[in-house]
Structure 1
Amino acid sequence: MATEWSQWPRRHSRAVDVVIAVLLCAFATYASRLADHGPAEGPVVVRSASLAVFGLSALASLALLWRRRFPRTVLVVTTICGVVIGALGFEISVFTTGAAFVAAYSLGLWSPDLYTAKVAPVISGAVLLVTSLFHNFVPVVTGGRVTLVAAALVAGAFAEAGRSRRNYLAALHARAQLAERTREEEARQRVGEERLRIARELHDIVAHHMALAHAQASTAAYLLRSQPDQAQEMLDQLAGTTSAALRELKATVGLLRDDGSDAPLEPTPGLAQLPDLLTSFERTGLTLSLSITGAPRPLSPGADLTAYRIIQEALTNVTKHAGSAAATVRLVYSRLLLTISVTDGGGPAAEYGGGEPDWDGNISEHQGYGLIGMNERAVSVGGQLHAGRRPDGGFEVTTELPLEPPPLEPPKTPDREDKT
């Protein structure tokens, strides 16, 4: 209820202006009958109501109806009306020239020129004060002149307060709009990052399991006539590989349909599942060796998943592209980093990720999505990746991952222009 009443003057500004105009005209007409005879006697009625004062007051009050659109013109008109009232021999006070001070407040509040908004009301008050001195210099200090000075100060103070509040609300509105735009941009960025993350997961899952399934199916086809028992065993492993692929695909794609249910999810892969990963590759006939240097230390969840996926992708490339049937996985733990190396013996037909990366680790787009995905995963957790052929033959993928998560960047402070 209180909020509705506080908004009523703003919604009915024209009615408010009419009420103010009528009251000021009535006050000015009545005050023109009074004369100030000093502190002893005070204001007393010395004359009857003047039709001229009523006409000038009505003109000044009527001009206030346009004080929002033409504040400078209205201030000039109301000031001239006050001067004419004084020239006719009537006492100039805040009551007889109230319209001029309302116009001064309006100019200080709505004028686009800040200098004019501060100087024009002072000039108007000074003109009215000087006019009152010409009319009756003695005594200098009268109640009417004190009210003139006080009214000028109050009008300026209220105008400055109103302007400051309006600017503050405008700044709040602009800041809210900026926050809304920033929130929408951040939401779009997060959606893009999530899509990229899911695309990487799908690529790794599909590439890994399809490579294993292809190797197992090829081996089973080769052994089907000569060694049917081993071929049957390989087909059983193929069924397990495809089942695992379906489970991981369901868990990953299920993130896109998350409805907030409490259905159990598959655990996020990490180095704890590394033995199972190596076993799945060994079933395809790939000979693997694992070496760990240094005391194993836990990684952040992001770095742990990144390490697992990089090893998985590197071994998948070995299975698909390398001419060698052996590979070596090395984990080196230092005080700050985990260095992972996946090396194979290579072969004449080995091509990794669709291209030939440089030895310095520069990964370009024309080299396929496998190496690009590994590089992006490493960079996303604050690490770096190098991939290329070794001088003595073979291919090696080396990545360095921090054991501690990288520090977050402080949020950028909007420029001063954005704040206002």
Structure 2
Amino acid sequence: MAHPDLRSFFTRELSRGRLIALDCLVAAVYAATLVAFALSDSGGATPALPAWLRSAIAVTIAAPVAVRRLWPVPVFAVVFVMSVVSTALNVLDEPFLAAAYALYPVAVSAPRWFRVPTPAIAVVSAFCLFVGALALPPSVAAGNVGLVVFGTAALGGAWTIGRAVAERRAYAGQRAEQRAEQAVAEERLRIARELHDIVTHGMGLIAVKASVANHVLAVRPQEAHDALRVIEATSRTSLAEMRNMLALLRSETGADEVGPLPGLGRLPELVETATAAGVEVDLSVRGAERLPDGVGVSVYRIVQEALTNVAKHAGPARCRVSVEATDREVRIDVVDDGAGASTRGGAAGESGGHGLVGMRERVAMFGGVFAAGPRPDGGFAVSACLPYQPVRVSG
């Protein structure tokens, strides 16, 4: 069985800087190889050409591929022209491998509207490879005719592979967008279900208190006054939460009823669950006793999803959860020191994580600010700030 570190090395995505460094290494090795062949008798070089010129041609063929990712088209043009010059002057028996290597990023980065008959190119490449390997006599295959045939196969193969990769990436991008849109729709449906519970709870409480006030108004006016104050506070809270939610939600039908909504009082349960999963959690909650129900639910869900991500992606780690509320906003910070930050999404959800999408939607519901990403000193951080309108009760 392969070591986990080796599997990680071969499967992880290389950064752009590392890919350019790899191209530089390939260019240096190939340039040294071509120079050695150009200066030797086995390279097929024309003796009339001076050694420095043969070496310069060899270096000009190989060296530009070091920056093929930065300037794909100019690099390919230079390498291809110098390969043709080398073949015409009989400097090198180089079957356009450097040109094919430079053509690949051109094919990958070419816009989709750039119409080239890639299937026909693939057929021609396969045919040239077949002819060069099986049909040409060895004496012809070793000459310029063979170089042209094998060079055509190499160039056509590089273009075909590059376009296939580009199409695959485009398809993967479309699928990622579809998954993100689906995740948003599902999250909004879940929020709509919670809205159903909030409205049901608020209207039920208002109905009960209104009935009480109606029966005791004449005999116990103070009790009726207290009931009216509860009705006022509940109605204001429900209206504020509904305005926030309905700004983003479209009407959904057929939503199933859910159980009682969780709130800040159940945060210790999340801590216990995360601890059982190997995450050491330090929980701090300040000033959040009088948050509206809808805000409390969103705070709970954000912390829940953040801790779930830590348990799933960071492995054994330490995590700090801070919930601090004022009379105008509540701030949530979930910071861990675990590994696996790159698997939880770059710019807050672009890598496809539905949990980050859901958290962002909940924060957007209140017009708040959300941020998530790797920390400079390691680990991952989730930060959210949810403003809310405090409920003022007269009397």
- The two structures have a TM-score, normalised by structure 2, of 0.43
Higher CA-based Rg: 1
> Taking structure 1 as the reference length, what is the TM-score of the superposition?
0.40
